[in-house]
Amino acid sequence: MSKNTLHTFGDSYTEGQPEDCTYPPFIEWKKLRGGNLPKSWSEILGEKLNMEVKNYGIGGNSNPQIFDDVCNKSHEFNKGDIVIINWTYKDRFRWAATEFHFDGAPQYPDENNNPLDNWRRMSVSNDQLDDFKHIKRNTKDEIIKNRTSHLYSDEIYNYENLIEQYSLSKGFDVYFWSTDNDIIINLSETKLKQKKYILNDLFVMGKYKTYHHAGEFMSMFIEMGGQTIFTETNTIVNDNTHFGELGHKVQAELFYEYIMSYRDNSI
Amino acid sequence: MNTLFGFGDSYTQGHFLNDTFKPFIQWKEYIGKELPPVWIDILGNKLDMNVKNYGSAGSSNQEIFHTFIQNCYEIKKDDIVIINWTYIDRFRWAAIPPFTPPNTAFPFWKKISSSTLNDNDIKEQTRIDIIENRVSYDLYIEEVYDYQKIIDLLSKSIGFDVYYWSADPLIIYSLSKEVLNQKKYIINDLIIFNDEKYIGAGGYFFETISHHGGKTVQEETNYECTDNHLGESGHRVQSELFYNYIKKYE
């Protein structure tokens, strides 16, 4: 009998650190560790659950892109599978573009080296100067400002409704969490205390404020013993946003315990 | 009794829910009686099904999809869902305080399109940039097909039938023949392509309705009412073509 699958979707907090990553701090981290990178939480969790892992997290993803990824992979979900969706910061959005490298070669070529259109990942960060080759600064700013409306949080809960309906009819389990303080964790207690919101039993709004880079939900893992790459490498690798080995381990263990508490109840 | 669900823009909403739309008021005066039934009501009657029409004039594809999501828990086995996608330039925009029109207490989604004029909630340049991006890249059309993927899977697992059509010729009707020729694309076997005789505001879908004798409000009123939505014959023809198509697959 084939194994069930753990499908994970989200941003860099789900993508983790693939071996072939090109993100400079991860390259530095890999070098420091002697040429290897630790397992991400989804891999550890998959091993503990004895499930295959399909990790579709991508750094910089926006919520519309994460939902689109779910739509595109939804045919792979089977009875008994587990789907974990990590919503990201509300300000992020996607913008259609055709992108080229400095030498003029297309960034996303087809088989004949013609440029393919792609969704450019936009966020509040103004470090991405290339953004302004594709969008006017004022337009980007106004879109980001508009996205602070709570209607964009409601949009997420709408996506969840559809995914839940599908999970019920198909027979897989779905869980959601978010790195944005304005999604899920700020819901009223009645709404938050639902099985689908992973670790809702542990999370207390306002309790975990020591770690500011990725919202209070991620701060909870720091409180529980997790560390960022920056801390774990004694400040050598300048990434105080993403988790180090211990952070991933803590997240995987807490997710495992939560999921198993419901699996045990259903037996 | 099963239910026929409709999602879409004004072409699905029809003319009953909008007594304030000037052309429909004119039309009502012109014919001197209540406006005729909308295609979905005629179709529901013919199929002997309840009708729930969630069409809303001016909706964008995002909004149509979200309306489907908000109501999908109502859809049961053997129900029928018909989704009408709309023009790709349309999008929705959160109205932020102070809300317009005045006296609106809660935030709401504004319907924005190429024809939106001087809206206080969005800068004109932002509106133009968003529309230009939407009409310049097929990715926004592919986004609609991605929505369809999960709706199709839901329909399969719950056991309802889902059909799609579009007012925008670039959505569905620009697909290759092999892809278009799927049960879910309602009346795909009848669609008229590139026949200049039937060029209208609604593109190929409405050319097909016209080809089968369905007229617009302006055609039915000898252009006294300047409205390009379907008139009585248009709604009748649309419902008949849909009925025959659905029955063929039953």
Q: Which residues of B touch A108 (CB under 8 A)?
A: none
Three-state secondary-structure class, residue B5: strand
Q: What is the pLDDT of residue B204?
A: 87
Instruction: Provide the 3-class DSSP secondary structure of residue B123.
Output: coil
Residues A222 and A169 in one domain: yes
A236 to chain B nearest CA, in Å? 41
Cβ-based neighbour number of residue A197 at 10 Å: 21
How far is Cα B39 from Cα B237, in angstroms, rounded to an integer? 8
Give the chain A residue whose CA is nearest to the CA of B141. Answer: A96
Judge: B154–A158 Cβ closer than 8 Å, yes or no.
Answer: no
Measured in whole angstroms, the distance separating CA A221 from the mean position of its chain's CA atoms is 15
Judging contacts by C-beta atoms under 8 Å, the chain A residues touching residue B97 are none
Give the ipTM: 0.91
CA-to-CA distance for B27 and B230, rounded, in angstroms? 12
**With contacts defined as CB-CB under 8 Å, which chain B residues touch A151?**
94, 107-109
**What's the CA gap between B3 and B77, in Å, rounded?**
10
Residue keyed to tokens 């105080």: A240
What is the model's pLDDT at position A1? 67
Residue A120 lies in a domain: yes
Q: What is the pLDDT of residue A175?
A: 98
Q: In the 8-state DSSP scheme, what is residue B113?
A: -
Distance, CA of B160 to CA of B158 (rounded, Å): 6
Q: Which residue in A6, A77, A29, A33 sits closest to A242, CA to CA?
A: A29
Chain A interface residues (partner B, CB cutoff 8 A): 68, 70-72, 74-75, 95-97, 117-119, 135-136, 138-139, 142-143, 145-152, 155, 158-159, 161-163, 165-166, 169-170
- At residue B68, does pLDDT exceed 50? yes
In whole angstroms, give the CA distance from residue B135 to residue A246: 47
Yes or no: say if A123 and A89 are a contact pair by the CB < 8 Å rule. yes
Claim to verify: residue A163 and residue A70 sit in the same structural domain: yes
Mean pLDDT of chain A: 92
Residues A163 and A257 in one domain: yes
Q: Which helix (H) or strand (E) holds A70?
A: helix A63-73
- CA-atom Rg of chain B in angstroms: 18
Interacting residues of B52 by C-beta distance below 8 A, sequence separation 6+: B3, B4, B5, B6, B71, B74
- Domain C-terminal end among A104, A129, A146: A146
Q: Based on the structure, what is the number of domains in chain A?
A: 2
CB A139 within 8 A of CB B129: yes
- Is the pLDDT at A267 greater than 50? The verdict is no
Average pLDDT of the residues in A26-54: 96
Residue type, B97: P
Q: How many helices (H) and strands (E) does chain B have?
A: 10, 6
- Mean predicted confidence (pLDDT) in A204-211: 74
Q: What is the pLDDT of residues A112-147, one digit of tens each?
A: 899 999 999 999 876 677 889 999 999 999 999 999
Helix (H) or strand (E) holding A5: strand A5-9
Task: Report pLDDT digits (tens) over B101-130.
Answer: 555 667 889 999 998 887 888 999 999 999
What is the pLDDT, as a whole number, of residue B17? 61
Range of the domain at A73: 5-92+151-262
Tokens in use for B147? Answer: 């929505």
- Final residue of a structural domain among A128, A146, A164: A146
Chain A contact present for B138, CB below 8 A: yes
- The region of weakest confidence among A75-89, A168-182, B22-36, B220-234 is B22-36
Contact B66 A169 (CB under 8 A): no
Q: Please tell me whether residues A141 and A169 are part of one structural domain.
A: no
Give residue for tokens 């925009």: B93
Those residues with Cβ within 8 angstroms of residue B57's Cβ, 6 or more apart along the chain or in another chain: B9, B10, B13, B18, B21
Alpha-carbon distance values, B37 to B20, B33, B42, B45 (Å) = 17, 12, 7, 11
Sheet hosting strand A52-55, strand order edge to edge: A52-55, A5-9, A82-87, A173-178
Give B174: exposed, middle or buried? Use CB within 10 Å, 0-12, 13-18, 19+: middle
Tokens of B203: 């593109």
CATH number of the domain bearing residue B25: 3.40.50
Q: Which residue has the tokens 């669609």?
A: B191
Query: Do residues B59 and A147 touch, judged by C-beta distance below 8 A?
Result: no
Q: What are A144-180's pLDDT values in tens digits?
A: 999 999 999 999 999 999 999 999 999 999 999 999 9
Q: Do the Cβ atoms of A161 and B107 come within 8 Å?
A: no
Domain limits for position B97: 3-249
Asked if the C-beta of B135 comes within 8 angstroms of chain A's C-beta atoms, the answer is: no
| pLDDT classification of A101: cutoffs 50, 70, 90 | confident
Residue B12 CA: distances (Å) to CA of A190, B9, B58, B117: 37, 6, 11, 24
Whole-number Cα distances in Å, A16 to A24, A47, A245, B116: 14, 16, 10, 43
Give dist(CA B227, CA A118) in Å, integer.
38
3-state secondary structure (DSSP) of residue A112:
coil
Q: Is the pLDDT of residue A89 over 60?
A: yes
Give the 3-state secondary structure of residue B82.
strand
Q: Is A100 in a helix, a strand, or coil?
A: strand
Omega before B98 within 30 of 0, i.e. cis:
yes
Peptide bond into B107 cis (omega under 30): no
Do A225 and A124 lie in a common domain? no
For residue A267, being part of any structural domain is answered with no
Q: How far is A167 from chain B (nearest CA, A)?
A: 9
pLDDT tens per residue across span B9-25: 999 999 876 677 888 88
Looking at residue A104, its pLDDT comes to 85
Which range scores top for mean pLDDT: A156-160, A237-241, B25-29, B206-210? A156-160
In a shared domain, residues A24 and A127: no
- For B150, the closest of A74, A95, A147 (CB atoms) is A74
Q: Please state the domain count of chain B.
A: 1
* Residue A228 and residue A243 in one domain: yes
In this predicted structure, what is the pLDDT of residue B107?
82
Among A70, A96, A161, the residue with its CB nearest the CB of B133 is A96
Q: Are residues A232 and A100 in the same domain?
A: no
Decide if pLDDT at B145 tops 50: yes
Nearest CA in chain A to B159: A169
Find the closest chain A residue to B126 by CA distance.
A139
The amino acid at B131: I
Of B207, B213, B166, nearest in space to B185 by CA: B166
How far does the CA of residue A25 sit from the closest CA of chain B (Å)? 32
CA triple A190-A10-A107, angle to 5 deg: 155
Interchain CB distance below 8 Å, B125 and A136: yes
Q: Which pLDDT score is estimated for A206?
A: 78
Residue pointed to by tokens 């009501």: B41
- The reply to whether A157 and A215 lie within a common domain is yes
Strand partners, B82: B6, B163
Q: Do residues A21 and A34 share a domain?
A: yes
B134 interfacial to chain A (CB closer than 8 Å): yes
User: Checking DSSP bridges between strand B161-166 and strand A118-122, what pairing results, if any?
Assistant: unpaired
A31, A158: one domain = yes
Amino acid type, B53: N
Tell me how far the alpha carbon of residue B144 is from its chain's centroid. 13
Are residues A25 and A119 part of one domain? no
